[in-house]
Structures are given as structure tokens and as C-alpha cells.
Amino acid sequence: MIITVDGPAAAGKGTLSQKLADKYGLAYFDTGMVYRAVGLMMLKQTLELSDACAAQKMAGELTFATMMELSRDKDFRSSIGGQAASIVSSYSGVRAQLLDMQRNFAKNPTFADGSPANGVIYDGRDTGTVICPHADVKFFITASSEVRAKRRYDEFLQKGMNVLFDDVLRDVKARDERDANRKDAPMKPAEDAIILDTSDLNIDEVFQKAVAFIEERLK
């Protein structure tokens, strides 16, 4: 079984994907990792992030094993890593190079320990539209910009970071605006996606709704 979970930042894609992966014995592919890995390769080799050709070359050299190794680096999940990922992910040559690596994972999905999985759950903005248009179940998880900004703001506070809610909200809205206008990775639901608005739902409610849709689809 292949499931895709698309949607804007802080809508709850990762949490839902991990819970569904556990329930159905699926390998979880967080596709943001491929861009974080390429961004980090650029930084480590002191290449300019504005060099789209170099980024494309790095993307062509990336293997799954290298990505897993890089994911243990302290900068992989940091804001430096996130920013680098965001820049390299905007190059269409980079996206094209990383397409097969993401798609091929579904041919023989395995867990981190190498044992076989029942399928894959892909998490990422273009997984239902570009990476896996033939997925069995596609979700598009969304929430109002205010709710997503509040979730991000709470995460920052938990990490002890000093931020203003209005600044976080402004960032979320600016990112939505940029995302909506990207041609190669559009922030829009696939035509056959199930749209889940999580604004007024907690994670368990979102999970229960998603499970109900999957069970219906599996009948």
C-alpha cells in the first residue's frame, strides 16, 4: 500500500504520517530529507547555495545511504539546514534528480533495520501530485494559517526560543504565498486527494478520520 500526505508546513503531516505508518506497518519516507541532505552537502563542501548547477550535481550524487548518514548531522534539522533545503528545493534540476530516488523507495520498502515493510507512506508537499500520482490513498492535510502559526509558535516556545506570534504568523503566510506559486511542486491537493482540515481537530481526531478513509478505500 502506498499513502501520500501532502499539505502546507505545520499542518500536522509528519505526526499523522508516523501514526499511520505504525498502524499499517508502512515505511515512512519524509521527503523533506532529500532536500535537507542536498543542502547539507552544499554547505559541507562550501558551495554557494545560489549555485543551481552545483546543487543539481550534488542531488545526482545523493544515495539513500548518504542521506541517512547526513540525517545524523547536527545541522540536518537545524534552521541552517532548513534554509539550505528550502533554497535547493526551489531548483527544478535538483527536484528532477531526486525524483527516482523517492519513487524507487516504493519498489522495495524497508524499515530502518532493513526488514520489509507493507508499503510506504510519503510525507511531502508534492508526493500525491508528482512523486506518487498512483498512490492508493492520498491525503492533503491543511489548517488555517493562524492555527499553523500557533503550532509553530508553541514548538519554538517549547525549544526555549524567544519569538513573537505575529512574526511567526507573518512567516507562515509569506511561505504559503511563495509555495502557492511554485510550478514544479505546487501546493495543491491531487484531484483524488482526501482533504483533511485539522484547524479544529486534535491529532487523535485527525488520525481516526484518516484511518476511516483508508479502511473505506481498502474494502
- Options 43-51, 65-73, 79-87, 108-116: segment touching ligand C5P (CB under 6 A): 79-87
Q: What's the closest the beta carbon of residue 133 comes to ligand C5P, in angstroms?
A: 14
Which H, E and C letters describe 17-47, residue by residue?
Answer: HHHHHHHHCCEEEECHHHHHHHHHHHHHCCC
Distance CA 113, CA 190 (A): 32
Task: Find the binder of ligand C5P among 85, 135, 190, 214 (CB under 6 A).
Answer: 85
Report if residue 86 touches ligand C5P, rule: CB under 6 A: yes
Distance from C-alpha of 10 to C-alpha of 32, rounded to nearest angstrom: 13
Q: Which residue is nearest to ligand C5P (CB)?
A: 32
Kindly determine how many residues on this chain lie close enough to bind ligand C5P according to the rule CB under 6 A: 12
Site string for ligand C5P, 48-67 (x = CB under 6 A): --------------------
C-alpha cell at position 76: 540536518
Among 125, 138, 151, 152, contact with ligand C5P (rule: CB under 6 A): 125
In this structure, are residues 45 and 57 in contact, taking their beta carbons and an 8 Å threshold?
A: no
Q: Give min distance, CB of 204 to ligand C5P, in A.
A: 23
> Applying CB under 6 A, which part among 64-72, 123-131, 136-144, 149-157 lies near ligand C5P?
123-131
- Work out whether 185 is an interface residue with ligand C5P (CB under 6 A): yes
Instruction: Select from 28, 35, 91, 153 the one that contacts ligand C5P (CB under 6 A).
Output: 35
Q: Does 124 bind ligand C5P (CB under 6 A)?
A: yes
The residue written with cell numbers 499513502 in the block is 3
Element (H, E) at 174: helix 165-180
**CB-side exposure of 135: number of CA atoms within 13 Å?**
30
- Compare residues 81 and 109 and give the one whose CB is closer to ligand C5P: 81
191 contacts: CB under 8 Å, gap ≥ 6 = none
Q: Which helix (H) or strand (E) holds 104?
A: helix 92-104
Contact between 91 and ligand C5P (CB under 6 A)? Answer: no
7: left (phi over 0), alpha (psi -120 to 50) or beta: left
Q: Does 152 bind ligand C5P (CB under 6 A)?
A: no
Q: Give contact residues for ligand C5P (rule: CB under 6 A).
A: 31-32, 35-36, 82, 85-86, 89, 124-126, 185
